[in-house]
Structure 1
Amino acid sequence: MVKRLNIIAPDNLGDLPQAALAIKTAEELLGKNQQFMPELSVSLIFRDEQSDGNFEISQQGKDLSITGNDEGLRCGLYTLLGKLGFHWFNPAEDIIGPNRLFAGDLSSLTGRHQPDFAYRGLHICAGKHHYDDLVGRWMSFNRMNRKLTHLPEDDVIGTRLKELGLRPDTTVHAYDLLIPDEKYFATHPEFFSLVGGKRIKQNDGGQLCLSNQQMRAAFAEELLAKIRSKPHLGVFGFCPNDGYGHCECEQCLALDSAEDKKKDQINKRLADFVQDICARVAQAAPGVMLGHYSYSNFSNFLDYLPEPPKNLLISCTMFHCYSHSVFAADCPVNPEYAQRLQKILAKIDRVYIYDYYAYNWSRLPAPYWQAIIDDFKHYKQLGVEGWMSECSGADHPMWQTQWCNYYLAAKMLWNSKRDLAPFLTQLCAARYPEQSGKDAAAMKKYFSALQKSVLRKDVCLDKKPAVFKDFFTPAIQAEAAAALEAAGHSPLVEAERAIFEFQRQNYAEREKYISPKAIQSSALDGKAQPIYLVDRSSQLPNLANDTQVWVDVKAGKILFRMLMHEQQIDKLKINSKSPYAGDSIELFLDDGNNPDLCYHYIFAPDASMVASECEGTRWNWAWQHQGKVEAKRHEQAWELLVEIPLSDINASQDFGFTIIRNRYTEGSQVYGTPAGGAYFKPQDYIRCSASPS
């Protein structure tokens, strides 16, 4: 094949891992598509400068040059490939190339290019090290440059991330990484949370004693040691561990505001701690940025920072409605998020958004596109530094419906001046490039129908189970189906038909698997209870790997038998030290006296267990109980026999419960009853009454 387009690498390519990988990727793509390329010589010219992907393109006849630093050369080369007809919409798919000779004009690329947002990333919730190479390569191709990374993970995947141009940001749950139980608990138990009158390890659900000055000094030294050993990291995070278990000692409680105490929050104590740690690091390591969440029960800790530290970067988490922009004043859900973001930006110079596009929604229709466009335009106007969202690995079904949201976000991070109609036109023309244009036109009608479904003031796509049927109405289904019927039969069109049929089937079937609000106990060797553990988004069970439950009450004890069918029993993930981190069952029981109290048990397939007493954000993992569990393993199932005294939960004969199964044999899956699991909401639990003797 004649080589029509040639790439000339810079002389120092060995020092440019991003450019080297981008050239390798480009050569592989061009090798299959030279017949469609213009006659062009592309020179990559290195320029030593600080930037987050800036580059410059110039052209004279058949000679084109891209000038920039390592990241700039990567982003510039991938920008050129996009112009030439190469698109990577979904990490679960191959890159799509052109199907005809390029006849466009490259002069529109000439000039200086600079992304609208310096920070462009994802948090990959997959694999052993929060990493999936297909997603990482997709991010790199689509000109992203950050990845949320735990400190130890950098030792494992750091080299690969350098090649991809994904700079690690360690703004993660980090207390247990900086003050590890193994190093400090035996000699300094006072560094750890006092919960229920007992100092508890972080592995047992605790946090740190933030008022302890010795702990603060050790924390700062550990953080500084990480900074000295990993100068290449973009941001060093120091956020609380995920969950609660916060310290109840007098000194920590004295740091809480009256509002914190009223709402079970820790904003003021955390602000005091953050201010101190930032000051210590600023003095010892000037110029180093520290990252912290605005999240959960410390979302408003910045309200209590008298002088916001200059070395503090904030990750602002957003659990918002996706029908409307975060800044839509008439949305009943979103204004509080917009107000919090604007309040943070008034105090902190460097802020990025932490979003949850796919969380609790998986394969359901996700037409967030207009809201995404509106959001990014506002983010740019407000001076937000960037954006990231959680996502799963490329093999996860979430990409079947979420790919367009993440692809659009990547595009908006580079250029936020886009509008929806031309975006969908260009996307459909590139993704469904049938010669007559019939597929592209039909698919644009399909996507437009889905988008129309949520452009209503009376619908908030806040991912509550019931909202699916509110917007995916029979009328919208009929309109979308007609558009799909008019499209052809390319593999990508057929894939869209398959996911649409799943969604229509889900609409029709989800009521079949609603668990009863109340049951009566029965013998453990009799018929299983008519309850279903379902996926929170689809509200459907995994019938091939279903969970059966028996409940009985005898001799003052609650008895559960749970049989977890598992076709891949050899892949069970068992973590005895932290049962929640592997295949496990979570059982919640309400308290017989206090409607705000519940009890949380976690059981692993090897019969290891942990339990806590929970009230609001107070999780007492030091709670003393008399619960017992036995585990059995079968050829294609694992089984638990649980025994809990009624007196442990202050119950007489009746009680409420919810059950959640965490399944790791096929990625990460969660099923629960009722409606995906009620967790810490006793008012939503299934009621169980003891059968008359």
Structure 2
Amino acid sequence: MHMADLASSIDFEKLGSDGFVIRTAGSRLVIAGGALRGTLYGVYTFLEDYLGCRWFSSKVSRIPKRSRISLGDIDIEQVPVLEYREPFFFCAFDGDWAARNKSNGNFPELETRHGGKTEYTSLFVHTFDHFIPVKEHFDAHPEYFSEVGGERISEKTQLCLTNPEVLELMIKRVKEYLGQHPETRILSVSQNDWYNPCQCANCRAVDEYEESYSGSLIRFVNQVAEAIESEYPEAAIDTLAYQYTRKPPKYVRPRHNVIVRRRNPRGSTGRATCAPLSGSCCRFPRLCWRPLPCSTE
């Protein structure tokens, strides 16, 4: 096959930013991929799968020596199922190791030569208080925050997710942030890192209907995502299935531009436990348009 014919047979749109093909064409080896990282990932995959290279850590690699390389026919195509991939431990933050192992998340030190990364910018998770700070709003608007035991609370509080003024303010703040950081592709709108979900009559009615506190959360995040879509079509809103929101809602479904990040809590020993992934939390992938990353707290 002529090289021009081979190139025309590759569906680069399907490959996206990270997909690639590895093919032999007569005596030629062709590795081609998406504009950002695809070709780089194709090269590393070839080195792994056909030449036996391994990158166990940022300091430990195995690079076999061969006097001769012989290849048979190759025709493979890979497109990642997960658009965001990020092993969360210190060694994995090394940019070279991350690129070699096809990690494209926010925390690795990935540079332009690695094809960049999927940007969260400075906001990762637990962002309710960033966008609507309790210190800034509670005195004038206690109704913006959680009602617990019949009272609005300011200590370790969440947002009242059925309050239309809270929604309006969140949309405004999210749009302001995206306007200041247009490179952002995933922006977290997620609960603070403690409990105390709002139990006002409206929030309670939604969560009882959905049979989970995630009901009011997903409804709220869906409305934020819908409000930004026309102006920021490349951005997705990310939220958490974490602590009291790990159980999926019964009826509402995340929009196509909403990502639910499952957070896997630690056990009492401080070691990560996979138990929640065998419970209700693992049902979230069946409800979502977009694949779900999972991280360990």
Q: TM-score category by the smaller chain? A: 0.7 to 0.9
Does the CA-based 8 Å contact 2:241-2:261 persist in structure 1? Answer: yes
**How much has 1:75 moved relative to structure 2?**
0.7
Query: C-alpha deviations, 1:440-465, integer Å up to 9, x for none?
Result: xxxxxxxxxxxxxxxxxxxxxxxxxx
Residues 182 and 198 (structure 1 numbering): CA distance in 2 closer, same or farther, change over 3 Å?
closer
Structure 1 counterpart of 2:57, one-letter code: N
Match of 1:172 among 125, 138, 156: 125
1:73 is matched with which residue? 39
CA distance in structure 2 between the aligned counterparts of 1:138 and 1:289, rounded to whole angstroms: 27
CA distance in structure 1 between the aligned counterparts of 2:213 and 2:276, rounded to whole angstroms: 23
1:95 is matched with which residue? 61
Alignment of 1:122-271 (within 5 A): 122=86, 124=88, 133-134=93-94, 136-147=95-106, 160=111, 163=114, 165-169=116-120, 172-181=125-134, 183-185=136-138, 187-195=140-148, 197-200=151-154, 204-257=155-208, 266-271=213-218
Structure 2 counterpart of 1:300, one-letter code: K
Does the CA-based 8 Å contact 1:318-1:353 persist in structure 2? Answer: no
CA distance in structure 1 between the aligned counterparts of 2:210 and 2:83, rounded to whole angstroms: 34
Structure 1 counterpart of 2:158, one-letter code: Q
CA distance in structure 2 between the aligned counterparts of 1:56 and 1:269, rounded to whole angstroms: 42
Task: After superposing the two structures, state which structure 1 stretch, 312-321 or 206-215, moved more.
Answer: 312-321
Secondary structure of 1:252's match?
helix
1:273 is matched with which residue? 220
Residues 118 and 209 (structure 1 numbering): CA distance in 2 closer, same or farther, change over 3 Å?
closer
Residues 283 and 75 (structure 1 numbering): CA distance in 2 closer, same or farther, change over 3 Å?
closer
Does the CA-based 8 Å contact 2:44-2:100 persist in structure 1? Answer: yes
| Residues matched between the structures, number | 275
Residues 249 and 161 (structure 1 numbering): CA distance in 2 closer, same or farther, change over 3 Å?
farther
CA distance in structure 2 between the aligned counterparts of 1:79 and 1:258, rounded to whole angstroms: 47
CA distance in structure 1 between the aligned counterparts of 2:16 and 2:182, rounded to whole angstroms: 17
Query: C-alpha deviations, 1:29-61, integer Å up to 9, x for none?
Result: xxxxxxxxxxxxxxxxxx975514222345578
Unaligned runs of 5+ in 1: 1-46, 150-156, 327-332, 357-389, 391-693
Say whether 1:296 aligns with 2:243.
Answer: yes
Unaligned runs of 5+ in 2: 1-10, 268-273
**How much has 1:139 moved relative to structure 2?**
1.8
Secondary structure of 1:303's match?
coil
CA distance in structure 1 between the aligned counterparts of 2:201 and 2:215, rounded to whole angstroms: 14
Match of 1:114 among 75, 78, 89: 78
**How much has 1:179 moved relative to structure 2?**
1.9
**How much has 1:301 moved relative to structure 2?**
4.1
Query: C-alpha deviations, 1:575-615, integer Å up to 9, x for none?
Result: xxxxxxxxxxxxxxxxxxxxxxxxxxxxxxxxxxxxxxxxx
Structure 2 counterpart of 1:97, one-letter code: I
RMSD (Å), alpha carbons: 3.8
Match of 1:53 among 11, 14, 18: 18
CA distance in structure 1 between the aligned counterparts of 2:66 and 2:78, rounded to whole angstroms: 29
Secondary structure of 2:249's match?
helix
CA distance in structure 2 between the aligned counterparts of 1:345 and 1:312, rounded to whole angstroms: 12
Give the percent of matched residue pairs that are identical in Structure 1 and Structure 2.
23
Over alpha carbons, which structure has the higher Rg?
1
CA distance in structure 1 between the aligned counterparts of 2:281 and 2:88, rounded to whole angstroms: 25
2:258 is matched with which residue? 312
CA distance in structure 1 between the aligned counterparts of 2:66 and 2:32, rounded to whole angstroms: 26
CA distance in structure 2 between the aligned counterparts of 1:180 and 1:102, rounded to whole angstroms: 63
Q: Give the TM-score, by structure 1 length.
A: 0.34
Structure 1 counterpart of 2:54, one-letter code: H
Secondary structure of 2:38's match?
helix
CA distance in structure 1 between the aligned counterparts of 2:240 and 2:124, rounded to whole angstroms: 7
Alignment of 1:526-675 (within 5 A): none
Does the CA-based 8 Å contact 1:171-1:236 persist in structure 2? Answer: yes
Greater strand proportion? 1
CA distance in structure 2 between the aligned counterparts of 1:181 and 1:174, rounded to whole angstroms: 12
CA distance in structure 2 between the aligned counterparts of 1:275 and 1:120, rounded to whole angstroms: 20
Residues 192 and 160 (structure 1 numbering): CA distance in 2 closer, same or farther, change over 3 Å?
farther
Does the CA-based 8 Å contact 1:56-1:76 persist in structure 2? Answer: yes
Residues 285 and 181 (structure 1 numbering): CA distance in 2 closer, same or farther, change over 3 Å?
same
Secondary structure of 1:74's match?
helix
Secondary structure of 1:344's match?
helix
Residues 186 and 102 (structure 1 numbering): CA distance in 2 closer, same or farther, change over 3 Å?
farther
Secondary structure of 2:53's match?
coil
Structure 1 counterpart of 2:99, one-letter code: S
Does the CA-based 8 Å contact 2:127-2:189 persist in structure 1? Answer: yes
Residues 316 and 183 (structure 1 numbering): CA distance in 2 closer, same or farther, change over 3 Å?
same
Does the CA-based 8 Å contact 2:21-2:31 persist in structure 1? Answer: yes
Secondary structure of 2:111's match?
helix
Structure with bigger RCO (C-alpha 8 Å, 6+ apart): 2
CA distance in structure 2 between the aligned counterparts of 1:300 and 1:334, rounded to whole angstroms: 10
Query: C-alpha deviations, 1:401-420, integer Å up to 9, x for none?
Result: xxxxxxxxxxxxxxxxxxxx
